[in-house]
Amino acid sequence: MTSGHANAVDLSGRIAVVTGASRGAGRGIARVLGEAGATVYVTGRSSRTGGNPTGRPGTIETTAEEVTARGGTGIPVRCDHTDDAQVTALFERVRAERGRLDVLVCNAWGGYEREVLPTPLPELDLAHLDLMYSAGLRAYLLTLQRAAPLLTDTRGGLAVVTSWVVDAQRYTGNIYYDVLKTAVNRLGRGLAAELAPAGVTPVIVSPGWMNTEVMELPPELAAKTESTEFVGRAVAALAADPEVSRHAGAVRTVVELAAEYGFTDVDGSSTSPTWEHIAATGGATDPDWFGA
């Protein structure tokens, strides 16, 4: 291992694909997997050579270089996960070059290209729903479908889908987001039925409120956030667990996994005000507090 921190695990020799990894949670996950020694295919649309459709900071090349700098092997692959041919080509390349896939992280979510706010139904823009579906739920299903043969051939691997915990008894205030995140969380059940018999463990993993590159928060709000590497440490812990199959089909928060596996965020904390708030309110994802 190249890292000396207490959260380090050894994933040397493992092959991973992390989607939507030019920034945000995907970048944090890719970095941590690299630190654990994995080879990481870093995918996304933002590239130094292929353009940046969002205009936001970060590229797949930058993340891949960070993976390598931390001790792994980073491989940037420009891929639009709404495009069937590009996603198919991605996993054909992984099979041709590595012959296996141990960790898949479905993280690309186009719905965040626009701000998600509590909004009355009549005022919602259907174009935002289209983004959340085509570059969110559909992109997840397409990626999982195309990756499934390689994952099942490899056996013993992990398929993580990043999401957000939506309490069935509460309402987030944005019906598009509420319904589509609920659908993503439901993926765990179906994926467990489809993939677990072949030795692949699907897990839905929910981070809290993350302080990403595009956020410019005052200190009092930044203190309420998690780093993007907290969820990365959750994925690495799952990937290193020889008995990870017990999580098949489950929805797990990063804080729950931190308590189980004993890892912390980069600042040494093992929880966050986001999840402390949710626990105190019986699972409410209160948009007024969450976006405060």
How confident is the model over 70-88, as pLDDT tens digits? 999 999 999 999 999 999 9
Closest CA to 262 of 289, 284, 241: 241
- Are residues 97 and 86 in contact, defined by beta-carbon separation less than 8 angstroms? no
Distance CA 197, CA 176 (A): 33
Q: Does residue 177 carry a catalytic annotation?
A: yes
Q: Give me the torsion for CA of 205, 207, 212, 216, rounded to 10°.
A: 160
pLDDT higher than threshold 50 for residue 214: yes
The one catalytic residue in 112, 140, 177, 261 is 177
Neighbours of 266 (CB within 10 A): 16
Distance CA 133, CA 172 (A): 17
Percent of the chain scoring above 70 in pLDDT: 85
The bridge status of strand 15-18 relative to strand 39-44 is parallel
Domains and CATH numbers, the chain: 15-290 (3.40.50.720)
Higher-confidence residue of 277 and 158: namely 158
Give 216's pLDDT tier (boundaries 50, 70, 90): low
CB 83 within 8 Å of CB 71: no
Rg (CA), the chain: 18
Q: What is the pTM of this model?
A: 0.90
The pLDDT value given to residue 277: 54
Average pLDDT over all residues of the chain:
88
pLDDT exceeds 90 at position 147: yes
Q: Average pLDDT of 120-134?
A: 95
pLDDT 10s digits, 228-258: 999 999 999 999 999 999 999 999 999 999 9
pLDDT band at 287 (very low <50, low <70, confident <90, very high): very low
DSSP string for residues in the chain: ----STT----TT-EEEESS-SSHHHHHHHHHHHHTT-EEEEEES-BTTTB-TT--S--HHHHHHHHHHTTSEEEEEE--TT-HHHHHHHHHHHHHHHS---EEEE---GGGGS------GGG--HHHHHHHIIIIIHHHHHHHHHHHHHHHHH-S-EEEEE-----TTS--S-HHHHHHHHHHHHHHHHHHHHHGGGT-EEEEEE--SB--TT----HHHHTT-B-HHHHHHHHHHHHH-TTGGGGTT-EEEHHHHHHHH----TTS-S--HHHHHHHHTTS---HHHHT-
